[in-house]
Chain A
Amino acid sequence: MTGQFGVAAVAIAGLSHRFGEHVAVDDLDLTVERGECFGLLGPNGAGKTTTLRVLNTQYPPQTGAVRVFGLDVRTQAMAVRRLLGYVPQQLSIEGALTGRENVAWFARLFDVPRRERAARVAEVLASVDLTDAADRMASTYSGGMVRRLELAQALVNRPALLVLDEPTVGLDPVARDAVWERVADMRRRYQMTVLLTTHYMQEADALCDRVALMHQGRLRVSGPPAELKAALGPDATLEDVFRHHTGESLLPAEKAGKGALRDVRSTRRTARRLG
């Protein structure tokens, strides 16, 4: 924890969250500074998504304090939501609307002023390369296009903090590269803070200034990827860092249990929706 609790983009202190007997997040302390891209790394079931859901006000914190730009997520939820852009893990757009209508819907829900709305929607659609497809029904989009449309939806309120939950899971390498490029471009363009979860080490390496490794609800280690790797040796990878601190692998294919099942279900659901 830095001494900048009041000005940090995200300040989490002593956060714990249970689902019945299962402890999803266990006494988590975490600070994300303004303007940085911060990655929460860990396998499925590590507590990353639960942490994000407390942060985005979906779950009230059971124990501990969570602040976003100094605002308490428990007592100032509406104000916190106005500062956030959120892209959930699951591909989630309204297929019965066009791409432009999907973005305009969220512009209205974030009270973007009417006189600015059309220009703002066009701007964010252009920033994710969807201008030409904007007036097509979203149900005709590919998986990569859906993800970029979701980025546009999340950016339309010009969020101070962009929260991405596994932004490239289920995407092919080309679509994954496109999403990384967009996220990096957004940061440059809007100088916003980005908090993402991932279990892809490459993604964390490519995008993040700092990462935190989570395992079984607890924070194991955090710091800039280069420093964490250098501490283990010249050829170390983030996978090695994770294995060193937890004794387990970060690769999802090697994991089993609830998280893996959820991943399969999510992928199948996405495949069904996209035909």
Chain B
Amino acid sequence: MSVAPAAPPGVWVEARPRGVRLLLSRIATFCLVELQKLRHDRSELVTRTIQPVLWLVIFGETFNRIRAIPTGSVPYMDYLAPGIIAQSALFMAIFYGIQIIWERDAGILTKLLVTPTPRTALVAGKAFAAGLRTIAQAIVVVVVALLLGVHLTWNPLKLLGVLVIVVMGAAFFSCLSVTIAGLVLRRERLMGIGQAITMPLFFASNALYPVDLMPGWLRALSHANPLTYEVAALRGLLIGQPTTYWLDFTALGVAAVAGIGMAAALLGRLAR
């Protein structure tokens, strides 16, 4: 029995990007689709900015006055603003798996899985698209923080670094969400687990208070929490607080890559 491949007509053969080019092409495609969706419906952007603004205005202003949390020479509002940027990105990304489940229910995921897109590229594309959504939120939080008198950097390179960090954080947490979606398979269960882990992730990080104030066990947890590295890098870039950038970027990079790998491995379960 012959197994020689029969070439289809040449006019049907398109350019075939591979490796990194294919990955970047798919990330760009999913980011573009996310932008198109945002352009058609901006209401989500508006509603999602309410919570971080409340954290800054109510929680931040109150704790700024009572000086309950020792942050050295840094006003508490300045200390809190980067934490709230990371928090708003976390809250958005941790429920991103719901979109994948919706796409599965709507039959879209099946069609995406049979395009020439490796699963890792599909998940990476989705992860960076989630990052794009969080950028819009981060910009709103920065503007509100500036209006409240928070002293943030104007250095364009550092602001670019902020966007990179926010996207990396969102990539990890959205992949964590897709991973959970791949395990539980149902929207309701994902909602429940998302609700259950969001606050522990938030409180076991340096978003609201310095790690030094935590009991030993919580400090250990916070060192394993990618949110801590995200907040540390954001604080370093935005308000100049000392941090080890290589460690923050490496921790977030490794987390994002591991997240993409985990989510891609479980994506097939969703499509069955």
Binding site for B on A (CB under 8 A): 5-8, 13, 56-58, 67, 69-72, 76, 78, 81-84, 86, 88-94, 96-98, 101, 105-106, 108-113, 137, 153, 157-160, 269, 273
Contact = CB atoms under 8 A, between A and B. Distances in A.
A111 B25 contact: yes
Contacts of B200: none
Interface residues of B, number: 40
B216 interface: no
Given A6-B5, A106-B115, A111 B14 contact: yes
A90 B40 CA distance: 24
Instruction: Tell me the dominant secondary structure on chain B's binding face.
Output: loop
Given A70-B6, A158-B11, A160-B12, A81 B1 contact: no
A88 B36 contact: no
A202 to B, nearest CB: 25
Contacts of B32: 108
A7 B8 CA distance: 9
A128 to B, nearest CB: 16
Contacts of A137: 40
Contacts of A109: 26, 29, 112, 115-117
A97 B36 contact: yes
A273 B107 CA distance: 11
Given A97-B36, A110-B14, A81 B114 contact: yes
A6 B108 contact: no
A88 B5 CA distance: 26
A86 B112 CA distance: 10
B65 interface: no
10 smallest A-B Cβ distances: which pairs?
A92-B107, A70-B5, A90-B107, A6-B2, A160-B8, A109-B115, A70-B6, A108-B29, A7-B6, A81-B116
A83 B114 CA distance: 11
A24 B111 CA distance: 21
Interface of B: 1-9, 11-17, 25-26, 28-29, 32-33, 36-37, 40-41, 105-108, 110-118, 271
12 contacts: A67-B3, A71-B5, A76-B5, A86-B114, A88-B107, A88-B111, A90-B106, A90-B107, A94-B33, A97-B33, A97-B36, A108-B32
Nearest to A55: B114
Given A82-B16, A109-B112, A109-B116, A69 B11 contact: no
